[in-house]
Structure 1
Amino acid sequence: MNGLLFIYVYFIAGLQADLLSKTLLDPYKITDEESRSLKEENSEVRGGFEDQSGCITKECSIGHECRLDDFGKPFCACAESCPNDDPNAFICTNQNISLPSECELHRIRCMCKKRMPQCADQSFSHIHLDYYGPCRQVQECSEEDLSQFPKRLKEWFEDVADFLETDGRLTYRQAKKTSAAIWKFCDLDLSKDRILSHREMRPLITSLKGFESCIKPFLHQCDDDSDDEITLEEWTTCLGIDSDNVEDLCGQLSADEDTAQETK
């Protein structure tokens, strides 16, 4: 892996830990920091009412903020602004528009869905995340690139696992007890049914698509029965991994995560 690609992978790994986690669990869930910021901002007097409980406890999704109606009842509205001060938070939308953050995407979509005058283009009511990083020209996936992609993908999984283990967000036991590719499958499989749905695969696509045009053709190729799902067997076969005892390893990794949570 050349130096430039490794730097980009390192950057994407950081995004995975800091940004993809909320996409994996809930693409509309705000971070604790964002939540605290909104709560502090909305603890002020709004609409003539002193907020003592409303917006202090009201949770709003990313791109939204809590406000009080004329009766002092809290509700979630499109955010007036987003904390777009992180240069590494840029995203590319399905309309090939670069935005400074996911918050900005959801704020814009919210305003357009409500047909607010701040909406610059009504088509933005259907805007969504395409991939992380600013929009760029992505080259076509050639047959040769696709044939070499499984090797590159396994190397990328190893780099991500090493980064997260070094950063303390993945235990050595989780990262090293099985191949990084199997760890990543188990990590993406939120339902723990040994099947990756399209929704569960989306974080992988959005994190790689910006510099790996073969990710979607590869996943399509892995889906042998064309049911828009990838089983653990299809995954290991596609990546050329020995599938012996793989399911047990997924179960052990899940048990390790539960144990780690209990000890916190």
Structure 2
Amino acid sequence: MCIPPEAQWKRATIPDRRSVPFFGQGRGLTDSQSLDSIPPPPSPKLRRAQKVAEQKAQRIQDFKQRCGPGFSSSSAWQARPWQHRIAIEQGIRKQDALPEEMEVVEDPTIEEPVGINPVQVEVGEFEEPTVDVEEIVAENPCQNYHCKHGKVCELDENNTPMCVCQDPSSCPASTAVFEKVCGTDNKTYDTSCHFFATKCTLEGTKKGHKLHLDYIGPCKFIPECLDTELSEFPLRMRDWLKNVLVTLYERDEDNNLLTEKQKLRVKKIHENEKRLEAGDHTVELLTRDFEKNYNMYIFPVHWQFGQLDQHPVDGYLSHTELAPLRAPLIPMEHCTTRFFETCDLDNDKYIALEEWGNCFGIKEKDIDKDLVI
């Protein structure tokens, strides 16, 4: 029996609506279209529909071969276009009910900002902050503890600083001749450190009480100071003090040598046109200049006393306080020692401001402690 393949296909496929392929939204087949013209979709459902269409085409081809070319199957198919359309629409509705295949999109991980800082910092980008903890070293009590020449600071059993005599062997050796010193015992010491350390070890003895630093340099023969030479010494000493002060004024560019009060005093001396130029001058010239320009010498004498009266500032000069001025002068001025001895009128081993002024010819009424600035 030759049953048109359309009827066979209809009975086989229409009851199972899930087998109807999806060809597009709201779009069915026209009379001029065939299933063979539809490209196979990638969906499994469409592949099954394509297979059904291929089977239908094969049945039609077999029918023509068995029943002959005069029988047309198109009339049977064309007589029922509504059946085909119903099948297609039902398949479309069923396809719409199925979940669509969705492209898997990788959800990027969004890192939350660290703290309130909107800038995300990668782990390990910065090292952990390190805090340098300075080692706390206990302050040495001897650090700011002052000891006089010849003594050093040491700590007792209670960690209390105390001054003890320095070992002379611990003093550094001299590197030049001018570092050597001569003591009043007429002995040359390698350095002033060796001298004061030795003097400290003699504390409490008669020898130690008489031992003093005599002058700078190795011990040498110092001629005796005659009376005539002693009378000339204050003249040269006054002139030298004045010229030293004027030189300091001229070179004091950084205000480190003289105070403002001292500068005001020296300014008048510096502007004095009659002052003597530095150098060797005859006794007569020095005497005349002192008489004519007496006021120019008052302040330099007071200034030098103030420079020496430092330990302590009490208005008296001890043998130790005189050393910075006397020690360098003795090798050049052999009357230095005798001059300072004569200044101590009361022989108390100290030179007061009044005694100092008198030695340099300053009148008693002009000696003023307020000028010691």
User: What is residue 137 of structure 1 aligned with on the other side?
Assistant: 221
TM-score by length of 1: 0.54
Closer/same/farther in 2, CA of residues 95 and 241 from structure 1, 3 Å limit? same
Q: Deviations over 1:91-124 (max 9, x none)?
A: 211222222322121233445669xxxxxxxx78
Closer/same/farther in 2, CA of residues 106 and 185 from structure 1, 3 Å limit? closer
Name the CA distance, whole Å, in 2 between partners of 1:125 and 1:233: 26
Structure 2 matches for 1:85-96, cutoff 5 A? 85=174, 87=176, 88-96=178-186
Structure 2 matches for 1:75-94, cutoff 5 A? 76-77=163-164, 78-79=166-167, 80-85=169-174, 87=176, 88-94=178-184
Contact 2:302–2:371 under 8 Å retained in 1: no
* 1:206 partnered with 2:206: no
RMSD after superposition? 4.2
Q: Deviations over 1:103-147 (max 9, x none)?
A: 121233445669xxxxxxxx7897431222322211110122112
Which amino acid is 1:156 matched to?
A: W
Name the CA distance, whole Å, in 1 between partners of 2:344 and 2:334: 17
User: What is residue 360 of structure 2 aligned with on the other side?
Assistant: 239
Following TM superposition, by how much is the alpha carbon of 1:173 offset from its aligned partner in structure 2, in angstroms?
A: 4.8
- Match of 1:205, SS state, is helix
Q: Deviations over 1:28-81 (max 9, x none)?
A: xxxxxxxxxxxxxxxxxxxxxx98635545555444445567887766552452
Contact 2:181–2:190 under 8 Å retained in 1: yes
Following TM superposition, by how much is the alpha carbon of 1:153 offset from its aligned partner in structure 2, in angstroms?
A: 1.2
User: What is residue 35 of structure 1 aligned with on the other side?
Assistant: none
Structure 2 segments unaligned to the other structure (5+ residues)? 1-136, 269-295
Q: 1:174 aligns with which of 245, 249, 262?
A: 262
Which amino acid is 1:101 matched to?
A: T
Closer/same/farther in 2, CA of residues 55 and 213 from structure 1, 3 Å limit? same
> Which of structures 1 and 2 has the larger relative contact order (alpha carbons within 8 angstroms, sep 6+)?
1
Which amino acid is 2:362 matched to?
A: I
User: What is residue 305 of structure 2 aligned with on the other side?
Assistant: 185
Contact 1:110–1:125 under 8 Å retained in 2: no
Q: Which moved more, 1:168-177 or 1:128-137?
A: 168-177
- Match of 1:211, SS state, is coil
Name the CA distance, whole Å, in 1 between partners of 2:225 and 2:244: 23
Structure 1 segments unaligned to the other structure (5+ residues)? 1-49, 115-122, 255-264
Structure 2 matches for 1:33-48, cutoff 5 A? none
Following TM superposition, by how much is the alpha carbon of 1:230 offset from its aligned partner in structure 2, in angstroms?
A: 4.4
Closer/same/farther in 2, CA of residues 162 and 75 from structure 1, 3 Å limit? same
Name the CA distance, whole Å, in 2 between partners of 1:98 and 1:160: 30
Name the CA distance, whole Å, in 2 between partners of 1:159 and 1:81: 40
User: What is residue 53 of structure 1 aligned with on the other side?
Assistant: 140
User: What is residue 196 of structure 2 aligned with on the other side?
Assistant: 106
User: What is residue 233 of structure 2 aligned with on the other side?
Assistant: 149
Name the CA distance, whole Å, in 1 between partners of 2:203 and 2:163: 14
Name the CA distance, whole Å, in 2 between partners of 1:67 and 1:227: 34
Following TM superposition, by how much is the alpha carbon of 1:210 offset from its aligned partner in structure 2, in angstroms?
A: 3.1
Contact 1:138–1:211 under 8 Å retained in 2: no
Closer/same/farther in 2, CA of residues 99 and 51 from structure 1, 3 Å limit? farther
Name the CA distance, whole Å, in 2 between partners of 1:202 and 1:91: 12
- Match of 1:131, SS state, is strand
Name the CA distance, whole Å, in 1 between partners of 2:350 and 2:159: 46
Which amino acid is 2:240 matched to?
A: W
Name the CA distance, whole Å, in 1 between partners of 2:152 and 2:346: 43
Following TM superposition, by how much is the alpha carbon of 1:217 offset from its aligned partner in structure 2, in angstroms?
A: 2.7
- Match of 1:170, SS state, is coil
TM-score by length of 2: 0.41
Sequence identity of aligned pairs in percent?
Answer: 33
Closer/same/farther in 2, CA of residues 63 and 185 from structure 1, 3 Å limit? closer
Name the CA distance, whole Å, in 1 between partners of 2:183 and 2:317: 23
Size of the aligned set, in residue pairs, is: 196
Name the CA distance, whole Å, in 1 between partners of 2:194 and 2:142: 21
Which amino acid is 2:370 matched to?
A: G
Following TM superposition, by how much is the alpha carbon of 1:223 offset from its aligned partner in structure 2, in angstroms?
A: 4.5
- Match of 2:195, SS state, is helix
Question: In proportion to residue count, which structure has more helix?
Answer: 1
Contact 1:131–1:209 under 8 Å retained in 2: yes
